[in-house]
Amino acid sequence: MNLNSVKHVCICGQQANYNCVNYFSNAIELTIRHYFKKSDNSISTTLNRMIPLTQLTKLVIESYGFPLKEIVKLLCFTSNLYILKLNFLSLNANNSKFIEQNESFQYVSNQNKIKKSSSS
């Protein structure tokens, strides 16, 4: 299988392998269906070993348990993101306060190219 032709990567499992042997060099879309467990590394580090996060143009997160803090960290590495879709995200008072006070979120908001976002 030629991994260079893969444009969309979907992570469906609840564990991501830090030492993933597959690298999808031309992936521009990422869908995460579950908040996955990781080793001591951040989600961004783990994902960056599988796909080049900087070239992603679309990110879909379909996981109720995915912490907003981790989403913000991930967005710091996706500067070319145009579409962000968050499904099952629970926006509560803690998340709202986090957004208001978080410098990383403010930076991401100003630097990313997100033109279309939705949440449900």
Please count the structural domains in the chain: 1
For the chain, give the mean pLDDT.
Answer: 79
Q: Which domain, by its residues, includes 29?
A: 3-119
> Which segment, 72-76, 92-96, 112-116, is predicted with the most confidence on average?
72-76
**Span 73-87, pLDDT tens digits:** 898 899 899 998 888
Q: Are 101 and 68 in contact (CB under 8 A)?
A: no
Residue listed under structure tokens 């976002």: 117
Residue listed under structure tokens 């990110």: 59
Q: In the predicted model, what is the mean pLDDT of residues 60-72?
A: 82
Cα maximum dimension of the chain: 46
pLDDT of 51 reads 93
Eight-state DSSP code of residue 53: G
